[in-house]
Each structure stands twice: as structure tokens, then as C-alpha cells.
Amino acid sequence: MLVVPVIYILAFTGGFVIMSMELLGGRVLAPYFGNSIYVWGSIITVFMASLALGYLFGGKLSVREPTLKKFGYIFLVSAVLLYPLILFAEPAMQWIFNRIEDPRYGSLAAASVLFMIPTIILGMISPYSVRLLVDNIETSGQIAGRLYFVSTLGSALGTLATSFYFVLWFEVNQILTYLTLALVVMSILAAFTHWRVNKSTSI
Amino acid sequence: MNDYKISSGYLRLALCCLLLLSSHAWSDRILQDKYSLYNRIVVKETGDFICLLFDVRRDPRYQSCINPKRPKTMVFPYARMAMASLLFVPEPSTILVIGLGGGTIPIALNELFPAAIIDTVEIDPAVVEVAKEYFGLKPSPQLIVHTQDARVWTKRASHRTTKYDIILLDAFNGEYIPEHLMTQEFLKEIQALLSDRGVMISNTFALSDLYSHESATYASVYGAFINFKIAESNNRMIIAPVNALDDKTLRATAAALKSRLKPYAVPITRYANVIIKARKRKPNWQQDARIFTDQFSPANLLQGKKR
């Protein structure tokens, strides 16, 4: 009984973090590549392509003995990979800026280096959640629909909260730190729920 | 009200501006109305004037105006105020203008100093086209237009050796100044491009909540700057010269420039007096206001809040 809401909470948070990160991407790149439309083009391209890959890998991963614990690892790994963004964004962008003159390809390269890997991992959340939730074919479409509803709602809220309020209250790196922490908390929640469920079924 | 005189000529000009802003007083004719990637660009003929404005839905922001019959005359106070930078460097050999608009200021500087190299940076190619078509901008080896994001251009420029005697920050979109052009880091990049006799002058507004944050940010880079304001304008020019010249030098420079600036309607001797007084004033903003950085720059969110 506990498992289903936990999965939805995790999917919601995943959606929230993805879009919050995407919006902050514009802020991170602006000092080196400006605020032009192609900078947003680069960011959106990288996020979409990474999510596409993430869906593919997440689906593949869900085939082999899916558990809530493994699901939690996705969050932990994405947190670990997101954090270097804070530490290495400046030198990475400087390095790219010095080598690529055209700000279109510069911003595309920078967005790829900074956001691709954590976004691929975050993209694995949705298909993996569907696998954990579905228990029969008849309701599988309904469950997938509900799952996308929850995670996309998370994305909408992540976009709104970040652009309306977070940037007014915090520094970009602070927000990224909180997003990382949220992912860590989610992985702990998944691990804890997994442990609780296993304990109760073994009695 | 003011202890400096306003000649009838300037009164007339101020009146013209007022009439201009209450646009119903004139029969307007839209010469061009198009959406570029960045702005809605409207060129309007209103009375004797041709004006460029961005985003006219609610709050028309006039960027530039000229009177084709007297093309030299600078219509807006902010454009005239920008010429006060010449008090600090009366014979500039290199000039950088961030934000082109109609090109009023770089065109005037090019006429006044034909040998000087003027680099202008404008993000929107459609604005460059409008400046050429309606406002008489003629790019040349001395008047160079770079169609690029100013932040990117500035970062690239720091790899070059050119230093500038005058740097004018005048980049506006339909809202205000783009947020990545208001941060401490950007202002430091600009400072690094100043020559050892150079002056930075920045066109800002003095109305919203932003005022304290913006002032504190400039002060964090340039120290005590000159807060140049005049009664007939809401614009506030932030002037930061590398060398603080004494009052006598400023007055002498103003006297020497007076006749050359007359066709442009720039009251340079009055400006010199205002600046001399402004230098002695204490800051009128909250000095502990949070500074804008690349990490924290919600300028446009703060702009909505009235001071």
C-alpha cells in the first residue's frame, strides 16, 4: 500500500528537478554564451535528447528484476552526477568558450557537458516507475497516464517555482544544491520504503 | 525648484518629449511594425519626429527619436546626458557602445570624432537594419556594428588588447536592461576594457526597487561613482571615470566643448555643474542592498516593484 504513493512522490520530484535544472541552465550559460534564443535552443535540445536516451535506458533497466531499491539508486546516481555542475561549470565553460568561437555551438557543447549525463539518468525515472506500478495489462495504459500526469505536473511546478520565486530568493548554486539534496532524500525514501515492505512481507 | 537655469530651448524640447509620450496629441503614422527574435520593433512618425520603440502593448518604451529636419539634435535627455562622458575624455580615440537602438549616440560621436574607432554591440539584427534605414546609421571602419550578445562580445574582447576611452552601457530590451548585463561580473569585465584615462557611463532608470540593488552593484565594482540626474528625466547616468578630474578641469573642458556640442542640443556646461555638485552628494540608496551577481540577478522581477 505504501509503495504506490512513494513511487508517485519520487516521479513528481524527478519531474520537478528536471525542469528546475533546465531553467537554471539558461542562467548558468548566460555569462559565457549570452541570453539569445539559440542558447535556449541548445539547452532544450540537450534536455530533450538526454531524456529520450534516459527513457530508453530506464525501460531497458526495468526488465531485469525491478525493485524500489534499484529505483532509489537512480536518484542517488543522478544526485552524484548533478553536483559536479556546481563545482566545474565555470572552468568547463571557460574551456569551451576559448575553443569554440560560435556561441551557438559553444552553448550546445557547454549544455551537453554540463547537463547531458544527469538528465539521462533522470530520464530513466518515468519508464522505471511505470514498470514498478503496472500489475496487469488492462490498467497499464491508465497507470502510465497517471504517472505522466504526476511527473509532468512536477515539471510544471518546478518551472514555476524556479522562475517565479527561487531565483528571487537564492543563488543559482544554492538552488542546484537543494535540488541535489531533494534527489538524495528521494533515494533514501525509496530505500527506506523498500526495507519496510520487505520486513512486513517476510513476517 | 532648480538652482540651474533651463533655457527656453530646452523647455521647448522637454515639452516636445512630453507631447511625444502622450502619443494622442499627434497624428501618428506607423512606418514599420515587426517582430524580431528579441523585440517588437515599431518605427513611428509622430509630429516632426521619427521614433523607434519596443513593445508598445502597455507601456511604450521609446528607444530613440530623431527630427529629420534637424537630425543632429538629440531628442531624449538620456542621449544628451550620455555625452557628459566627454567631460572626462574630451578627445576619445576608442569608444565602446553596448546597445545600439536608433544609433543616435554613436552617430553623433562619429560625427564629432571621425578618427575615433567606435565599436557598437547590438544583439538584434533587426534593430541594426532600422538604425540604418531610418536613423542614418552608416557603418564604416570607424563605426563598427557587432551583431552579438554584449556579454559574449565583452568576454571575447577581454582576450584582445583594445582598451576604450569611453564605454557607454545602454542595452535595453522592452522591459529593462537584460539581467546578465547587470551583474557584478559583467561590470568587472567592462572595467577591464577601460583605458587608463577611460570613463564608464551607464544609462539606468531611477524609479523601481531595483535602484538600490543596481547602485550597490556598480559601487562594488567602481567605488564611489557619479550619480548624474537631471530634473527633466527619470534616467540616471552612472558615471565612473578612471581618473577623478578636479572641478576646474571639468569646467574648462565643458567650456571648450560647448560650441561643438551645441548642434546636438547638449547643455554641457550645465551638465558639468550638475556633475560637480553630484560628486559631493552622499549615496541616496540602501548601501547594504544585495548585489547582483551571475548567481543572483532577478532584476526584472524586482523592477515591477515601485520604490
CATH number of the CATH domain containing B248? 3.40.50.150
Q: Among A36, A94, A160, A178, which would you mutate to test the B interface (most chain B Cβ atoms within 10 Å of its Cβ)?
A: A36
In tens, the pLDDT along B146-167 reads 999 999 999 988 778 899 999 9
The alpha carbon dihedral of B296, B299, B304, B305 has a sign of positive
Q: Are residues B15 and B103 in the same domain?
A: no
Contact between chains at A37 and B37 (C-beta distance less than 8 A): yes
Nearest CA to CA, how far is A117 from chain B (Å)? 23
Distance linking the first and last C-alpha atoms of chain B: 23
How far apart are alpha carbons A62 and B243 in whole angstroms? 67
Q: Are residues B256 and B179 in the same domain?
A: yes
Q: Is residue B2 domain-resident?
A: no
DSSP codes joined into one string, B58-85: SS-EEEEEE-TTSTTS--SHHHHHHGGG
- State residue B169's pLDDT score: 97
Q: Which chain B residues contact residue A33 at CB under 8 A?
A: 149, 152
Which residue segment(s) compose the domain that B144 sits in?
77-303
How far apart are alpha carbons A100 and B172 in whole angstroms? 27
pLDDT higher than 90, residue B173? no
Q: Are residues B32 and B165 in the same domain?
A: no
Q: Is residue B1 domain-resident?
A: no
Q: Are residues B88 and B230 in the same domain?
A: yes
Contact between chains at B151 and A34 (C-beta distance less than 8 A): yes
How many domains would you assign to chain A?
Answer: 1
Decide if B275 contacts B87 (C-beta within 8 A).
Answer: yes
Domain CATH number, residue A74? 1.20.1250.20
pLDDT higher than 60, residue A203? no
How many domains would you assign to chain B?
Answer: 2
Q: Are residues B134 and B161 in the same domain?
A: yes
Contact between chains at A31 and B183 (C-beta distance less than 8 A): yes
DSSP state of A162: I
Q: Are residues B223 and B204 in the same domain?
A: yes
Contact between chains at A34 and B123 (C-beta distance less than 8 A): yes
Q: Among B173, B181, B294, which would you mutate to test the A interface (most chain A Cβ atoms within 10 Å of its Cβ)?
A: B294
Q: Are residues B32 and B95 in the same domain?
A: no
- Residue B226, classed as helix, strand or coil, is strand
Q: Which chain B residues contact residue A32 at CB under 8 A?
A: 151-152, 155
Contact between chains at B295 and A171 (C-beta distance less than 8 A): yes
Within 13 Å and on the Cβ side, how many CA atoms surround A34? 26
Q: Are residues B20 and B116 in the same domain?
A: no
Name the residue facing A32 among B155, B183, B296 (closest C-beta): B155
Q: Is residue B202 domain-resident?
A: yes
How far apart are alpha carbons B253 and B239 in whole angstroms? 16
Nearest CA to CA, how far is B230 from chain A (Å)? 31
- State residue B3's pLDDT score: 34
CA angle at B156 for the pair B153 and B158, rounded to the nearest 5° = 110
In tens, the pLDDT along A129-147 reads 999 999 899 999 999 999 9
Is the ipTM of this structure higher than 0.90? no
Which residue segment(s) compose the domain that A48 sits in?
3-202
**pTM, whole model, 2 decimals?**
0.86
pLDDT grade, residue B271 (50/70/90)? very high
Comparing CA positions, the residue from A38, A180, A57 lying closest to residue A103 is A38
Q: Are residues B219 and B88 in the same domain?
A: yes
Other C-beta atoms closer than 10 Å to the C-beta of A74 total 26
Q: Is residue B71 domain-resident?
A: no
In tens, the pLDDT along A2-59 reads 899 999 999 999 999 999 999 999 999 999 999 888 999 999 999 999 999 999 999 9
